[in-house]
Amino acid sequence: MIFDLIKKRRSVFPVQYNSSPIAKADIEKVLEVANWAPTHRKTEPWRFKVLLGEAKERLGQFLSKKYQETETRPKQIKIKKLLENPRRAGAIIAICMQRDAKESLPEWEEIAATAMAVQNMWLCCVEMGIGCYWSSPGLIQYMGDFLDLNEGEKCLGFFYMGHYDEEIPEQSRTPVAEKTVWLE
């Protein structure tokens, strides 16, 4: 049931991943479900760049170097994390958004459609038993220096994926009644 799947969705971080690779067919399935997200005016703004193998290593090197160049007091622990997280992941998908060239709708709607595509990806990963999370570090503003981005395309973050062994704890939410106003 979709309700149960939604309630089981969690962030599973690279430090929790084991060394099992992610099958290309599984990545393709995750991308296919992303492609079925709702999209206003059918702009389908989501774009994905899949990083595997050495590309993950290059991403870690790039992020670490860019952090050290742009931070006045870089922290060693952050440098280490930027290097190691891509290595730990079975796959990383750069989440990008291609702005409608005509700008026929507000940018937030294009971002929202891309976020819905990522939610589809996340739910698919839950169903397949793959851990994942969406990282959106401030360094994404420099991704045009690393990725081949088209005019009007921007990187919104990274979708880290990996197999994991540990039990993921259940979560709770405050009651929706505390967040809802009924108007009649």
11 marked among binding-site residues: yes
Q: Which helix (H) or strand (E) holds 47?
A: strand 46-51
The answer on whether 73 is annotated among ligand-binding residues is: no
Whether 134 has a binding-site annotation, put simply, is yes
166: helix, strand or coil: coil
163 annotated as belonging to a binding site for a ligand: no
Comparing CA positions, the residue from 59, 62, 63, 47 lying closest to residue 153 is 47
Distance from C-alpha of 74 to C-alpha of 149, rounded to nearest angstrom: 27
Element (H, E) at 157: strand 153-162
- For helices 54-70 and 76-88, what crossing angle results, to 10°? 160
**∠ CA(16), CA(19), CA(21), 5° rounding?**
115
C-alpha–C-alpha distance, residues 150 and 178, integer Å: 43
Query: What gap in Å lies between CA 113 and CA 57, rounded to an integer?
Result: 29
135 is in an annotated binding site: yes
Main-chain phi, psi angles of 106, to 5 degrees: -60, 145
Name the binding residues: 9-11, 40, 134-136
Name the binding residues for FMN: 9-11, 40, 134-136
